[in-house]
Amino acid sequence: MPNVAVITGAYRGLGLETARQLGKRGYHVVVTARDLKKAEAAASKLQAERLTADAQALDVTSDASVAEFASWLKAKHGSLSVLVNNAGVFPGLGEMPKGGFTASLSFTVPMLREAMEANAFGAFRVIQALAPLLKAGACIVNVSSGMGQLSEMNGGYPAYRLSKTAMNALTKLLSEELAPHKIRINAVCPGWVRTEMGGQQAPRSVEEGAKGIVWAATLSEDGPTGGFFRDGQRIDW
């Protein structure tokens, strides 16, 4: 049986392209989205390319949805070799909130909470639920961003930045705990990519952005864990 790869938020953009590239490497990909119809449409595109794919609804902000997905995955596939936490949101994208003392202080706590719930807590929920199904030698990839780097932190977009910094910390923390189980977990910055979130002015294609994610998803058993990477090269936290 082929190895199974789960990609969250995979109905378009980086998630769909990551699923495509993993499918071309022989993985059976599980395409997820909050809207099942969108996931099914994405899986159909992959199937039309003669790739093996399932579609399933998954809302990473919902405990019930994640638990239901984990039960389905166990019953359908039994185990998995790759988990890519790609689902995420970018509150404040396009226009910084107006008013207040500074741009960041104009953000509201609900906006911060929205980003943390999807980008950081969402990744944690999914890892926690699917960890029992991960094979020895499995890879987890947290799709992060250079905007979450403390080493290059600057002003603006605090909700997204803080949530990705939290995702990076989660990566480092879990790498120590998962290492005895031969499970590697790394954070990946795909760069500024031409997606709905990144915009058409971004310099990188989705194909280029997905390559670094797929690299981390297919590391050999002696590959790195607990790192932050872009294009397969380690970058500062």
Of the candidates 11, 27, 157, 160, the residue annotated as catalytic is: 160
- Read off the pLDDT of residues 129-165 as tens digits, 9 standing for 90 and up: 999 999 999 999 999 999 999 998 988 889 999 999 9
Q: Residue 15 corresponds to which tokens in the numbers above? A: 């998630």
Is residue 160 among the annotated active site residues? Answer: yes
Handedness of CA 43, 187, 204, 150 (dihedral sign): positive
- Read off the pLDDT of residues 28-78 as tens digits, 9 standing for 90 and up: 999 999 999 999 999 999 999 999 999 999 999 999 999 999 999 999 999
Q: Residue 175 corresponds to which tokens in the numbers above? A: 């790498």
- Residue range of the domain that includes 66: 4-234
pTM of the model: 0.95
Q: What's the CATH number where 84 sits?
A: 3.40.50.720
What is the tally of structural domains in the chain? 1
